[in-house]
Copies of this chain bind each other. A is one copy, B any other.
Amino acid sequence: MIITITWSGGRAIPTIKAEDLREIGFQIFKAAGVPEDEARLVSDFLVRANLDGHDSHGVIRIPPYVERVLEGKIKVGVKPEIIRETPNSAVIDGRWGFGQVVGVRAMGIAIEKAKENTVGIVTVFNCNHVGRLSDYTVMAAENDMVGVAMANCITRVAPYGGMERMLGTCPISFAFPVGEEIPFIFDMATSICAEGKIRVKLHEGKRLPYKCIVDKEGNLSDDPKDLYEGGAILPFGGEVGYKGFGLGLVVEILGGILSGTGCSCSEGFRGGNGLFLEAINIQSFMDINRFKSEIDDMIRRVRNSKPRPGFKRVMTPGEVEYINRMERLKKGIHIPEKTWEELVKTAEKFNLDIEGFIKH
């Protein structure tokens, strides 16, 4: 049952409950030959991105993921392999499994190591798109640990002062356990924005909110088309964009070089996401309850501080996502028409009628 019908350009756009959307993703992946546990995991992660308001990382990815499964670029049912290991570290060959499957396995190993030995660092190569890094750092936070994650990826970003694509959007995420407060989850691209956000504007036929790309001549632009016609995304930082650029290179080194993936501008770059995942056991440094009460206190003080003219209030990292999640869990997830059509088309390849999975 499609619960809410809104209108855009005179046509219906469905709003769907999270559990139904999860089932739709699961059934499509299963039909494409993905083992049930992997299908469930990947679908859950994509829907979580929609819930959090990051539609660019949500079910919009199902059609290209299915395509990659059918092409054999995403290998299903393979077991990631540890190729180098110490009590505090591991290097993992993801064997081109689903990025989410490999990422969860790798962060799980980091957490196990941190439980025993304070810190676990796991790097990963031969790994498909992992989605949002916060999906992995929250695993550490849920285990009363600090979670750190970085990922390099195909070049789309120009250096500060440059115009060629020399580095990936290279996200970084940190998550921390909290007491009673909204989870502190930080996840950012080191470019001004993720490529997915620009693609969304392209699909919507809209301009970008500010000049966050350069065209193929190196001129600043807010036209999303320019990115796909030989342009590049800028590193974040505004006047001090060398900071976002520097952080991006740090991610290329830790996620790319240290994992064996190679940095994205190198000839040896293996493709996909090169990962750096770390879990730090807080209990080795201080009482975990004291940590949680101090982070709660910090979050409250910052959130209650005075906004400046033009802003309604101060928000802490992870708060927008939390608010979206609460609302979308209740009201359902709004799926743009184009995304819905592509889901329907993908499902039809396997003779699936996805509207039949809408129960709520």
Residue positions of A touching B, CB distance < 8 A: 84, 86-89, 91, 117-119, 121, 123, 146, 158-164, 166-167, 174, 176, 184, 186, 188, 192-193, 209-210, 212, 214, 217-219, 236-247, 249-250, 252-254, 257-260, 262-263, 265-266, 268, 280, 282, 284-286, 291, 294-295, 297-298, 301-302, 305-309, 311, 313-317
Contact = CB atoms under 8 A, between A and B. Distances in A.
A165 to B, nearest CB: 9
A314 B123 contact: no
21 contacts: A86-B117, A117-B117, A158-B305, A160-B314, A161-B313, A162-B302, A163-B305, A167-B302, A188-B246, A212-B239, A214-B308, A219-B308, A238-B241, A245-B317, A246-B317, A257-B294, A260-B286, A265-B301, A265-B302, A265-B305, A266-B298
A217 B306 CA distance: 10
B253 A162 contact: no
A88 B91 contact: no
Contacts of A311: 161-162
Q: How many copies does the complex hold?
A: 2
B239 A258 contact: no
Contact of A263 (B188, B252, B298): B298
Given A118-B88, A297-B266, A258 B285 contact: yes
A89 B119 contact: yes
